[in-house]
Amino acid sequence: MHSLIPPALPDIVETTLLGGRVRLRQPAKGYRIGMDGALLAAGAAGILAERPVKPVSVLELGCGVGGVFLSLAARCPQVTATGIERDAATFVLTEANIAQNGGEHSAIYGDIGKGYKSFDLPRFDMVLSNPPYFDDPDTLRAPHELKRPAWIADDGLPAWLDFAQAAVKDGGEIVFVHRADRLGDILSGLNKCGSFVIRPIQPFIDKDAKRVLVRAKRLGKAPLRLLPPLILHDDGDRKHTPEVETILRGDVVLGW
């Protein structure tokens, strides 16, 4: 765990999610919550929609400015969320967004790469993550410096998978959104889990999946299920397919 030195904040803009139900302060430049985070929150809400309504503790790894867990909480009031974020300027915005949106949520300034045991945390009912998509900075054109922490996993994807498995209760759920070409690594890395459910995410109906949503249960025993893909765009004038538009507005959850 780090001690926080108050940073110089970047230029800030305020945006809204779920048709205005979530107000979010985030950098004008640099990493901002996008489609992947929105679908992660909608998928987590879809899991909770399957259950009786009762309090649920949720941990988000690498929470950014809090857009995912605040969106989940707006959909599911039974959620009490904790986020972990290692970037100091982003963490300040996370705390501001928690205060702005209300709820008994919290954020921790710390580095996932230090491991679960370095945090004095309980185990959670659910763990979410939209981790950095690349382990090696040489594998892609260098991102904008403000986006680098969100794109490069300095400790590698296995550190995030190990943390999630250590942090979730037996029988609890883990939900990740990641690159489709890392699906094999995710399934093998979640070696304490089973009951996998995979939702491919395709940009168009005739294009390969670029992302996957992966749901797993710690100590789960059910067979793996591969769901029909979610198609983001069609060939019409709309920015997204009607199904995706309803998900982004918060009218429906993403079912499993």
Q: How far is 93 from 8, CA to CA, in rounded Å? A: 11
Confirm whether 183 is domain-assigned: yes
CATH of residue 89: 3.40.50.150
The answer to whether 171 and 151 have CB atoms below 8 angstroms apart is no
Q: How far is 58 from 35, CA to CA, in rounded Å? A: 20
Please tell me the pTM assigned to this model.
0.89
Q: How far is 180 from 45, CA to CA, in rounded Å? A: 21
Tens digit of each residue's pLDDT (9 = 90 or more) over 130-180: 999 866 555 545 444 544 444 444 568 999 999 999 999 999 999 999 999
pLDDT at 236: 74
> Which among 256, 247, 189, 255 has a CA at the least distance from the CA of 71?
247
Q: How many domains, in total, are found in the chain?
A: 1
* Least confident piece of the model among 12-16, 115-119, 182-186, 206-210: 12-16
Q: How far is 46 from 27, CA to CA, in rounded Å? A: 29
The answer to whether 188 and 247 have CB atoms below 8 angstroms apart is no
Confirm whether 83 is domain-assigned: yes
The whole domain housing 216 covers 12-249
Query: What average pLDDT does this structure show over 177-187?
Result: 97
Confirm whether 86 is domain-assigned: yes
Q: How far is 209 from 229, CA to CA, in rounded Å? A: 8
Q: How far is 181 from 63, CA to CA, in rounded Å? A: 23
Confirm whether 254 is domain-assigned: no
> Which among 70, 39, 30, 31 has a CA at the least distance from the CA of 178?
39
Q: How far is 122 from 133, CA to CA, in rounded Å? A: 27
